[in-house]
């Protein structure tokens, strides 16, 4: 539904994005994750047809965003970084205006407005002047204007900024509900938002996409497979010998023994990519009569993945190319 | 074409609604009415004095051509209204695009399936309608003053004079809209528009310093000259063409400026 190939945007001598390539399948929610100034908003604006790219192509529903700008504009709903609102209008009046300029038929308009108001929980505020709304409600009106014409593609730039925790949950649920019927691309700084709402993530840094994959795969691939944290009775060498015999184990590392009873140790075991070795590890330890007191699976958090990818010197095109890193292993809560 | 009209109507209604919801617009209208009232009284007194003077001269046997007092009143009043509009219109046009830029709503318009032309035409029609609505109560002054005069002022002269005022307003608002599209500061937009239309207003005076073709060209660009033509009841095609050109130029430049803004935005 969205195909971006080698997209670049240069302002004077500054490159905002360089060689950005990714695609979004119909019905998918893609999270666009990146630090400030990474090029998220520029990419969003190019996709929305607001800015022309310097080079490369971006297609929405098969239409090139610059050449077939009008066709693209008919098929997108766009929430910019700050909601584009007219403070002197009522919520309903504003949505009616947006529906008109988006080309919704007069006959369909009341139903579309009602639907957008309902989905964004704005029914009680429909007659309120936008100027009098709180920031959270304004953000919701911004989202409502992006969906009022029921576009197949929805582009949301930081949709949960300024919302309180309850509103954030509501907006996340709203975005999740949009999947399937709509293709959604959203940018955010908030990492849990991506893992909670998005089926795929593109991490962008310094204007380049450094990884694209599902949140789970990114987390797994970054640490090179599954990881386990064990509390075992015995000495490190015996445990190491025992676990090295298990096929698929790629690393065994001692952890801090503080606060542990004598003769107990904590170790970290990393297995090969996407293999589940929990059962084999437990069996090996028990068969070597090494007391197993605790065993839990650990995974790199998306935050770790994000920090790792956005602080690396060399960008990579796909998360599968990310080198395994033990530093990336972190306990899941 | 139908879609264009539909979009123009949507922008027009929103623009008009924003003026009627704006306290600033009401404040401008109030000041406009007060000033227009003062100017009407001044014009009325001036023309009556002039009439009395002519009467006095005629009674003294001094040969002097008679004056048509109602016509003179209309001409003088519409003349000063034109000058007053030069101050009021830039304030009405200053926010047309500057506010859109400031609020970020330009991003909404620019990513909607609506052309820059439709937006510009809708906005111009909206602000022009507000100006006409704002000027309607002032017709009461003229109606009272000209009611029952004998011989009556020809309707065509009255209509042409007011059409001239509307054309002048449309030209100034169109150019003001273009200036407003260049900045997100409403005050700057108002000042620059005022400076621009003041130049176009008095360019006929400046043209006198130039000779030849340049002088002629500058003279013909004058808003004052062409407005005066219409107010005097002279239907001059060149005046109509000039006003139409200014209106078109303003809309054209606005559409181009919004496109350029999108290309340059950092």
Mean pLDDT of the A279-305 span: 80
Cβ pair A253, A267 in contact under 8 A = yes
A45 shares its domain with A187: yes
pLDDT attached to residue A112: 94
Cβ pair A4, A56 in contact under 8 A = yes
pLDDT attached to residue B13: 94
Select from A210, A232, A267 the last residue of a domain. A210
A74 shares its domain with A111: yes
Q: Is B39 on the interface with A (CB under 8 A)?
A: no
Q: What percent of chain B has pLDDT over 90?
A: 42
Q: Which residues of A touch B265 (CB under 8 A)?
A: 50-51
pLDDT attached to residue A225: 60
Q: Is residue A81 included in any domain, yes or no?
A: yes
Distance CA B85, CA B127 (A): 13
Is a pLDDT exceeding 50 seen at residue A321? no
Q: Strand pairing partners for A32?
A: A187, A202
Q: Which positions 54-113 of B are in contact with A (Cβ < 8 Å)?
A: 103-113
For A49, which residue in chain B has the nearest alpha carbon?
B111
Cβ pair B11, B96 in contact under 8 A = no
- Three-class SS string for chain B? CHHHHHHHHHHHHHHHHHHHCCHHHHHHHHHHHHHHHHHHHHHHHHHHHHHHHHHHHHHCCCCCCCCCHHHHHHHHHHHHHHHHHHHHHHHHHCHHHHHHHHHCHHHHHHCCCCCHHHHHHHHHHHHHHHHHHHHHHHHHHHHHHHCCCCCCCCHHHHHHHHHHHHHHHHHHHHHHHHHHCCCCCHHHHHHHHHHHHHHHHHHHHHHCCCCHHHHHHHHHCCHHHHHHHHHCCCCCHHHHHHHHHHHHHHHHHHHHHHHHHHHHCC
A147 shares its domain with A287: no
CB-CB under 8 Å, A98 with B112? yes
Distance CA A108, CA A116 (A): 12
CB-CB under 8 Å, A50 with B262? yes
For A72, which residue in chain B has the nearest alpha carbon?
B113
A145 shares its domain with A276: no
Select from A210, A245, A262 the last residue of a domain. A210
Select from A177, A210, A243 the last residue of a domain. A210
Helix then strand then coil, % of chain A, to nearest 5: 35, 30, 35
Phi (first) and psi of residue A56, to 5 degrees:
90, 175
Distance CA B127, CA B190 (A): 14
A170 shares its domain with A252: no
A202 shares its domain with A231: no
A201 shares its domain with A253: no
A271 shares its domain with A198: no
Q: Which positions 2-31 of B are in contact with A (Cβ < 8 Å)?
A: 3, 6-7, 10-11, 13-14, 17-18, 21-22
Q: Which helix (H) or strand (E) holds A168?
A: helix A165-178
Question: Which residues are CB-neighbours of A107 under 8 A, at least 6 positions away?
Answer: none
Is a pLDDT exceeding 60 seen at residue A327? no
CB-CB under 8 Å, B113 with A101? yes
Is a pLDDT exceeding 70 seen at residue B26? yes
Q: Is residue A6 included in any domain, yes or no?
A: yes
| Shortest alpha-carbon distance between residue A150 and chain B (Å) | 13
**Neighbouring C-alpha atoms within 13 Å toward the C-beta of B158:** 11
Cβ pair A309, A317 in contact under 8 A = no
Mean pLDDT of the B32-36 span: 92
Q: Is the pTM of this model over 0.90?
A: no
What the block records as the tokens of A253 is 């590392």
CB-CB under 8 Å, A87 with B103? yes
Report the alpha-carbon angle A29-A35-A37, nearest 5. Answer: 110
DSSP, collapsed to helix, strand or coil, labels residue A82 as: coil
Q: Which positions 74-113 of A are in contact with B (Cβ < 8 Å)?
A: 74, 76, 78, 80-89, 93, 97-98, 100-103
Phi (first) and psi of residue A315, to 5 degrees:
-75, 150
Question: Which residues are CB-neighbours of B266 under 8 A, at least 6 positions away?
Answer: A11, A12, A14
Q: Is residue A318 included in any domain, yes or no?
A: no
Confidence of residue A217 (pLDDT cuts 50, 70, 90): confident
CB-CB under 8 Å, A85 with B112? no
Is a pLDDT exceeding 70 seen at residue B255? yes
Distance CA B133, CA B136 (A): 5
Q: What is the pLDDT of residues B149-200, one digit of tens each?
A: 777 888 888 888 899 999 999 999 999 999 999 998 999 999 999 999 888 8
pLDDT attached to residue A238: 86
* Range of the structural domain that residue A53 is part of: 2-210
Confidence of residue A299 (pLDDT cuts 50, 70, 90): low
In CATH, what number is assigned to the domain containing residue A242?
A: 3.30.70.260
Q: Strand pairing partners for A227?
A: A270, A298
Cβ pair A311, A327 in contact under 8 A = no
Chain-centroid distance, C-alpha B34 = 18
The structure tokens 């906005």 sit at B123
CB-CB under 8 Å, A102 with B113? yes
| CB nearest to B110's CB, from A50, A81, A102 | A50
Count chain A–chain B contacts defined by CB atoms under 8 A.
75
Q: Which residues of A touch B3 (CB under 8 A)?
A: 103
Is a pLDDT exceeding 70 seen at residue A111? yes
For A145, which residue in chain B has the nearest alpha carbon?
B108
A99 shares its domain with A190: yes
A108 shares its domain with A130: yes
Q: Which residues of B touch A93 (CB under 8 A)?
A: 17
Q: Which residues of B touch A74 (CB under 8 A)?
A: 113
In CATH, what number is assigned to the domain containing residue A148?
A: 3.40.50.300
Distance CA A81, CA A230 (A): 45
Q: What is the pLDDT of residues B102-127, one digit of tens each?
A: 998 999 999 999 999 999 999 999 99
Cβ pair A229, A310 in contact under 8 A = no
Q: Is residue A317 included in any domain, yes or no?
A: no
Q: Strand pairing partners for A268?
A: A229, A253
Query: Which pairing describes strands A55-60 and A208-213: parallel, antiparallel, or unpaired?
Result: unpaired
Structural domains counted in chain A: 2
What the block records as the tokens of A14 is 């500054």
In order of A75, A152, B70, B137, the CA distances from A57 in angstroms are 17, 20, 68, 56
A177 shares its domain with A124: yes
Chain-centroid distance, C-alpha B203 = 16
A169 shares its domain with A250: no
Phi (first) and psi of residue A271, to 5 degrees:
-105, 170
| Shortest alpha-carbon distance between residue B257 and chain A (Å) | 14
């Amino acid at each position: 539904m969205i195909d971006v190939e080698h997209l670049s945007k240069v302002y004077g001598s500054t490159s905002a994005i360089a060689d950005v390539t990714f695609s979004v399948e119909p019905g998918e929610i893609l999270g666009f994750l990146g630090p400030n100034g990474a090029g998220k908003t520029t990419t969003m604006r190019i996709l929305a047809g607001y800015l022309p790219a310097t080079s490369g192509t971006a297609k929405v529903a098969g239409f090139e965003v610059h050449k077939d700008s009008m066709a693209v504009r008919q098929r997108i709903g766009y929430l910019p970084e700050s909601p584009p609102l007219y403070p002197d209008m009522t919520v309903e009046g504003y949505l009616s205006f947006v529906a008109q300029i988006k080309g919704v038929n007069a006959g369909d308009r009341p139903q579309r407005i009602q639907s957008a108001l309902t989905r964004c929980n704005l029914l009680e505020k429909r007659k309120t002047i936008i100027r009098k709304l709180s920031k959270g409600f304004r953000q919701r009106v911004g989202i409502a204007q992006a969906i009022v014409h029921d576009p197949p593609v929805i582009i949301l730039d930081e949709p949960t900024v300024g919302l309180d925790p309850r509103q954030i949950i509501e907006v996340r649920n709203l975005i999740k509900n949009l999947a399937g019927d709509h293709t959604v691309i959203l940018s955010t700084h908030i990492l849990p938002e991506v893992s909670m709402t998005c089926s795929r993530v593109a991490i962008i840094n310094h204007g380049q996409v450094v990884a694209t994959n599902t949140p789970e795969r990114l987390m797994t691939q970054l640490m090179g497979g599954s990881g386990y944290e064990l509390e075992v009775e015995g000495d490190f060498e015996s445990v190491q010998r025992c676990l090295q015999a298990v096929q698929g184990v790629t690393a065994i590392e001692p952890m801090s023994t503080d606060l542990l009873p004598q003769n107990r140790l904590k170790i970290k075991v990393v297995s090969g990519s996407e293999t589940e070795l929990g059962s084999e590890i437990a069996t090996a330890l028990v068969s070597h009569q090494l007391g197993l007191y605790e065993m839990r699976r650990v995974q790199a958090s998306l935050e770790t993945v994000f920090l790792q990818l956005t602080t690396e010197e060399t960008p990579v095109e796909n998360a599968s190319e990310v080198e395994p890193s033990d530093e990336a292993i972190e306990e899941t809560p | 074409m139908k879609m264009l009209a539909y979009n123009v109507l949507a922008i027009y209604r929103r623009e008009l609604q924003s003026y009627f919801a704006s306290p600033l617009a009401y404040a401008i209208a109030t000041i406009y009415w007060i000033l227009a009232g003062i100017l009407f009284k001044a014009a009325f007194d001036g023309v009556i004095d002039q009439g009395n003077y002519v009467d006095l001269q005629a009674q003294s046997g001094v040969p002097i051509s008679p004056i048509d007092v109602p016509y003179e009143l209309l001409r003088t009043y519409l003349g000063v209204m034109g000058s007053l509009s030069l101050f009021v219109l830039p304030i009405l046009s200053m926010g047309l695009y500057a506010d859109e830029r400031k609020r970020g709503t330009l991003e909404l318009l620019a990513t909607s399936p609506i052309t820059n032309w439709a937006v510009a035409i809708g906005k111009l029609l909206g602000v022009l309608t507000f100006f006409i609505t704002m000027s309607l109560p002032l017709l009461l002054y003229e109606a009272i003053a000209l009611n029952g005069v004998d011989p009556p002022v020809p309707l065509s002269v009255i209509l042409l004079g007011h059409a001239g005022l509307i054309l002048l307003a449309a030209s100034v608002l169109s150019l003001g809209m273009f200036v407003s599209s260049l900045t997100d500061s409403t005050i700057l937009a108002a000042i620059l528009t005022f400076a621009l239309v003041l130049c176009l207003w008095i360019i006929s005076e400046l043209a006198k310093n130039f000779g030849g073709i340049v002088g002629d060209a500058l003279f013909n660009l004058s808003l004052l000259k062409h407005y005066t033509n219409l107010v005097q009841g002279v239907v001059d095609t060149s005046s109509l063409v000039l006003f139409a050109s200014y209106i078109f130029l303003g809309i054209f430049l606005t559409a181009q400026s919004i496109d350029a803004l999108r290309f340059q935005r950092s």
